[in-house]
Amino acid sequence: MFGSHLSIAGGMHHALIEARELTMDCVQVFTKNQRQWKVKPLEDQAIADWNEHRKRTKIRSVVSHDSYLINLASPDRALRSRSISLFTEELRRCDALGIGFLVTHPGAHMGAGEDKGLERVAKALDRIHRKLPDHDVLTCLEITAGQGSSLGFEFDHLRRIIDLVDEPQRLGVCLDTAHMLAAGYDLTSRAGCRRVLAECDEVLGLDRVRVIHLNDSKVPRGRRVDRHEHIGHGHVSLDAFAVLVNLRKFRKVPKILETAKEDAPDGRPWDAVNLETLRGLATGGDKMRKIQKTGNVS
């Protein structure tokens, strides 16, 4: 199940239309302007348009990503309080739209230390969950590149948050291939990827992985910098992508591209090119062998 993060400009339902035009099975969206704290209420007509196009396009799964302003790990009490309020509203919006997954970065400790930061994230999530006792939207903790004081660049960070919260069943995990490589996980070969997945299974359990971001990385392994690249044009090996897209456990997991929205040299949207590459890796055969032999994914 493959898709991409798409724009909601002109109305949220336009992301569904674009996803269908690009033959996607799933899509990721923001449910609001992610650069603003202020939240404009969802209008009834916007919800109706969304539901109508959800049925019409038959997109199988929809994921939302929360605002990058949110920092549940912040030592600043006022910022943490604003983050809790905004994240609560994001969950409400997902619930109103029938979106099952909300992806979030665990946040940054801002010098307070990893232990304190992880504790703050867990306590914040508990406060949020208590406000929404009957909501079914799953919060997916995303592994990060580890830039600055960001938390979540180790599987163990996510495990500790899950173990600390009162309702661990309300948390899932989002893997991001660019982040994982930048954080030091070996996605440079088929064997390396299998070892990483074995570690993920041991620490978190593969069943808890509910969303995957499939991004190549502009930076080499272990650089702790978040820079996405088109599939096959960065430092994540195509063999690693092949392992991920062919794993039976992940067959029904939405796999989302978060790469630049621009045209490839052949004039097609890069989303279309990247999807073709991933589907070629998933189906194997001549397409996959050609990619592995020539490195040409366009």
Q: Which residues are catalytic?
A: 35, 65, 68, 105, 142, 176, 179, 213, 226, 228, 258
H or E, element range at 213? strand 209-213
DSSP label at residue 42? P
Structure tokens at 89: 């509203």
Q: What residue type is assigned to position 207 of the chain?
A: D
Q: How many CB atoms lie within 10 A of CB 33?
A: 12
From the list 211, 179, 174, the residue with the least C-alpha distance to 62 is 211
Alpha-carbon 27 to chain mean position: 11
Alpha-carbon 229 to chain mean position: 15
DSSP label at residue 36? -
Strands 228-229 and 216-217: antiparallel
Q: Supply angle C-alpha 69, 71, 77, rounded to 5.
A: 115
Q: Spell out the residues 6+ positions from residue 162 whose beta carbon is closer than 8 angstroms to its own.
A: 141, 168, 171, 204, 208
| Residue that has been written with the tokens 């969802």 in this structure | 42
